[in-house]
Structure 1
């Protein structure tokens, strides 16, 4: 039964917060938006067009504490005093995906989470479902928010990229098909620097699933298998793995020789890895997850096969830019943690000049040390403080140079590269020291390559 709220407050006026506010307004609720920082002009315009009141550059505590429902944007941590006060007062606090879920009607949901590969898998699955003619939208951490889609243009299917932050504040959200790709340390500052808290958060994707729902898990991931050994979860588990021997059920996806197998409801669908548009071992996991999800959504094998071969991949995620005088340039600006860099290096077949650096989140560069020693010819640092990179690799890599712009980094990398090499931008860090965001960093990188 739909609950009645007289006073809804949305904290944060980004894509998620605005979506939640618009949905509340369209459903007839009184709603107010409060952001501790400045609100971007296009988001202000959205709120004004919907007749939604808002404040920026600070919170009016009394007004917020008077709310009977608070929808919290995922970027706001629990340690903020206002959140502590709301919790202490017993206020109902939910995330935007929880709010949207309450109004999704009979629509079906595939929710995808993991430390790496979420965006690629979400985009690929959306492409598979859309190409097969389903009424589907791609929402969440990628593109438009779930709530805004529900408010403005609801669809029969939602493919949602969800982060651990969004899952932290769900109270009923459930996906008919959930996907958990992998778990590696990330965002630990939000989880009291305890990896086990982050793992629990990722598994909240299954918190409200039933026995009739499905959870697709990468059972090659040690943290996932460790969690399963000590915790019971309700949904039917379908596994993806590199080895058929690891497959615990008759259903699931695995790699054998140079083929990907998708086994579902007694049928074994086989695809050559050479027919997959996405290359690299990490993308085999992403493709297996998307493929088994598509089969579970009722998509025919022929459509899946066709879409796998034509999918073009994501901008800023292992995106081929150009070949300049025998040197390939690849933009992996979305690689903002070291696990992403590991995956990127693992998929490289040529010697690499690696562009690394940015706003460091306390990286332990030993995570990529073996691959750097094996594959990297030179490192070009692109950040304000490059000392941690120098310290980590000074005894391993002969050429380490510092740059402070995309253009300088590209020029330096090009001068260090030899014919047949690849220049890989995979920073392993956030972009906020020199760029607006990872998209801006990737765009500037591509522009600099084209100017060579």
Structure 2
């Protein structure tokens, strides 16, 4: 049974899970194991692999519709982060006073494991994976969950970890109320998903700062001192947690900073030994990855890992697929898959990581992007833009004065072939879309895989 201090919601009765993806199916299994009567409802089609699991577990489900009358009798609802708040069914549930929470909120009630929680507009997956690998290397009994890996709820139900490293999106945070992070990390805040936040940046900022809610004086809050929106939001969202800032522009007594020799220096209160490592030794290069390593290093120190373990992990870590992933060197041209760059700031980081000349493949479903922040980098580094996706009018309008060539393509294969003709020896062809993928592809993974296939077919 959970520690009673963790329980805030009905612990039995009728549990409805909305959405039958990784998080929904995991929540359904945990609910079943805890004695709930569970019903899974998905407005879309449920993937065969998840259907098989639900059948094996004997969990009732429906697809392609919601049985509203049945759902409205729920004691508790766990909803997929992909379902927006303004959906009529969610509004009805709220009005009826039925608790609607996220899978993370639901599962956290049933574990006493230490929770390291990472959010931010960019760098979440890299920082989460690096931290997870570092903890594993240090012998920690650690689980990986959230926006990445297996469902948190499923692992709480069927595995037994002492520590979890959780990648947490703003959509997840929106449905978290009593959840508490032992270590909360806010990497950065840049405009993203504003269509879910009434196109108000302050609403999105408030969502990100939910990562620190309920923290105590014994917990840690790790954040970027150089990030403008984080620093503006800090006084509006106070926390009792111990502050561990990281910075490349200042020196801090407690936290992480760069010294004059370009060494990352990490100091955490009550941990006597300081950590030092030159940025040249990091396996992940680029300014943004210095930040990611600082954040991971601070988490490792909070977990009391040895300096040697931290150094070995930072030297050897290989980046995740679809995030600045090196695909091939063909005819002296580097091909880089950054399909996970679904917002403008991610593209800024990608462009900042490479030297001129870049042939940039970008486009897709525009989420209200402001391309202004890319203008200087496009002017100085990008020789051509190849557009993918159905509607690229805004990309043409934004960059027509900043680069010599902007062309549309009819498929990913077409885009890669065009880019290969535009690139010459020493150039980089970079897929970094700044947009969602679902006009041409199921998700960013499929988009990245199609890019890699097209490159290997050249």
TM-score, with normalisation over the residues of structure 1?
A: 0.97
Tell me, in whole angstroms, the C-alpha distance in 1 between the residues paired with 2:453 and 2:361: 15
Tell me, in whole angstroms, the C-alpha distance in 2 between the residues paired with 1:271 and 1:387: 45
Aligned to 2:177: 171
Deviation of 1:234 (Å)? 1.6
Aligned to 1:289: 295
Q: Is residue 78–residue 84 contact of structure 1 (8 Å, CA) maintained in 2? A: yes
Structure 1 residues without counterparts, runs of 5 or longer: none
Deviation of 1:154 (Å)? 2.5
Aligned to 1:25: 32
* 1:225 and 2:231 matched: yes
Tell me, in whole angstroms, the C-alpha distance in 2 between the residues paired with 1:102 and 1:278: 36
Deviation of 1:359 (Å)? 1.2
**Pairing of 1:14-53 with structure 2 (within 5 A):** 14-53=21-60
Tell me, in whole angstroms, the C-alpha distance in 1 between the residues paired with 2:357 and 2:264: 27
Q: Deviations over 1:268-304 (max 9, x none)?
A: 2111111110010001100000011011101100011
Q: Deviations over 1:372-403 (max 9, x none)?
A: 00100111111111221111112221111111
Q: Is residue 12–residue 34 contact of structure 2 (8 Å, CA) maintained in 1? A: no
Tell me, in whole angstroms, the C-alpha distance in 2 between the residues paired with 1:159 and 1:332: 23
* 1:330 and 2:347 matched: no
Q: Is residue 111–residue 160 contact of structure 1 (8 Å, CA) maintained in 2? A: yes
Tell me, in whole angstroms, the C-alpha distance in 2 between the residues paired with 1:19 and 1:361: 29
Structure 2 residues without counterparts, runs of 5 or longer: none
Q: Deviations over 1:59-86 (max 9, x none)?
A: 1111111011111111111101111111
Q: Is residue 404–residue 434 contact of structure 1 (8 Å, CA) maintained in 2? A: no
Corresponding residue SS for 1:244 = coil
Q: Is residue 241–residue 253 contact of structure 1 (8 Å, CA) maintained in 2? A: yes
Tell me, in whole angstroms, the C-alpha distance in 2 between the residues paired with 1:198 and 1:401: 33
RMSD across aligned positions (CA) = 1.1
Deviation of 1:254 (Å)? 1.0
Name the count of aligned residue pairs.
448
Q: Deviations over 1:315-370 (max 9, x none)?
A: 00000111111111111000011110001001112311100111111222212111
Deviation of 1:148 (Å)? 1.2
Aligned to 2:356: 350
Q: Deviations over 1:21-77 (max 9, x none)?
A: 011011221110111111111111111111000111111111111011111111111
Deviation of 1:448 (Å)? 1.2
Aligned to 2:371: 365
Q: Is residue 251–residue 266 contact of structure 1 (8 Å, CA) maintained in 2? A: no
* 1:451 and 2:454 matched: no
Tell me, in whole angstroms, the C-alpha distance in 1 between the residues paired with 2:244 and 2:149: 28
Aligned to 2:406: 400
TM-score, with normalisation over the residues of structure 2?
A: 0.96
**Pairing of 1:426-437 with structure 2 (within 5 A):** 426-437=432-443
